[in-house]
Amino acid sequence: MNGAREIALPSARGNLAALRWSPLRTPDAAPVRVLALHGWLDNAASFAPLAPHLDGIDLVALDLPGHGASAHRAPGYDYAFVDWIHDVLDALDALGWERAVLLGHSMGGGIASLVAAAVPARVERLALIEALGPIGGRVEDAVTRLRTAVAARRVADAAPAARLVRTLPSREAAIDARLAASSMTREAAALIVDRNLRTVDGGVAWRSDPRLKLPGHVRSDEATVQAWLGAIECPVLVLAADPSPPYFSPSIRDARLHALRDGRCVEVKGGHHLHMEQAEDVAAVLHPFLVGAP
């Protein structure tokens, strides 16, 4: 995939799969190490359009657990947001990277934000596309959210695993299904879908864990999210789509930017997957920051 090679990274909660784009070695400069984290129900392939435009960068795009070719959580366990932090740290450890630049899109950006807040010594710079911290929740919705999530989890745990698997007749049908759920070009959807399909009797099925679609039990309130963001010590660059999605509105974004010690935002015309659909334009803004250019 555009010069990428598959790698496997051991983790305490199961092996992690990733795509790696390594630049040619030059005697005068070591490549910048960047770990890329994708959005919810995406996978490492979402960074394939961007990779050719990131010269001099050793780019590793992770399949987060339950996505793409990475292991699923063990039966009976949830995809709690805090565990993503440990998955990222496990990946950095497996790569032998004591310190790296984190690049995150959407949910991956929320995860990267918390890694930078929790373990600032491991993150050199933080580049976020359509994210700054995790999606927050209103205090008045906390009880309803908890009850809904617990009920959904109990139903899923009681169901035979086969019942949770959705079979589709073909790859094209899978791309259509993805486009029905997400606004993006067909080419972008195909990249994500192709890494997330397996062949089954009667057609194809998703490799991603069906439990990823269960509602979360807890969302942090906005004050807590901003406190986390205030603990980030490295420079932060946010790339925001114009028009913005409702869950990352300019008002939320600006308040969170204000909480940062060293952060700035650049708006780019496009949709939520702008790093796939306007890869060259995004890279023109992103690349200087990733390499630490003044």
DSSP 207-234: -S-GGGGSPPS----HHHHHHHHHT--S
> How confident is residue 24, by pLDDT bands cut at 50, 70 and 90?
low
Q: Is 106 a catalytic residue?
A: yes
**Least confident stretch, 54-63, 158-167, 200-209, 256-265:** 158-167
pLDDT at residue 160 in the model? 74
Task: For residue 196, tell me if it sits in a domain.
Answer: no
pLDDT at residue 23 in the model? 82
What is this structure's pTM?
0.96
Task: For residue 266, tell me if it sits in a domain.
Answer: yes
> How confident is residue 246, by pLDDT bands cut at 50, 70 and 90?
confident
Question: What three-state secondary structure class fits 161?
Answer: helix
Q: Residue 242 pairs with which residues in a beta bridge?
A: 269
- The CATH number that applies at residue 74 is 3.40.50.1820
Question: What domain count does the chain have?
Answer: 1
Domain that holds residue 109: 5-137+219-290
Does residue 26 have a pLDDT over 60?
A: no
Neighbouring residues of 188: CB distance < 8 A, sequence distance ≥ 6: 46, 49, 273, 276, 277
Neighbouring residues of 180: CB distance < 8 A, sequence distance ≥ 6: none
Task: For residue 239, tell me if it sits in a domain.
Answer: yes
Task: For residue 45, tell me if it sits in a domain.
Answer: yes
Give the mean pLDDT of 235-246: 93
Task: For residue 214, tell me if it sits in a domain.
Answer: no
- Amino acid letter, 225: V
Question: What three-state secondary structure class fits 186?
Answer: helix
Task: For residue 170, tell me if it sits in a domain.
Answer: no
**CA neighbor of 134 nearest in space, from 239, 218, 251:** 218
Query: Which one of the listed residues 11, 46, 70, 106 is annotated catalytic?
Result: 106
Task: For residue 183, tell me if it sits in a domain.
Answer: no
**Rounded to 5 degrees, what are φ and ψ at 30?**
-80, 145
What mean pLDDT is reported for the chain? 94
Task: For residue 34, tell me if it sits in a domain.
Answer: yes
> How confident is residue 133, by pLDDT bands cut at 50, 70 and 90?
very high
204 within 8 A of 171, measured Cβ to Cβ: yes
- Long-range contacts formed by 242-250: CB under 8 A, 24+ apart: 242/267, 242/268, 242/269, 242/270, 245/130, 245/272, 247/135, 248/130, 248/131, 248/132
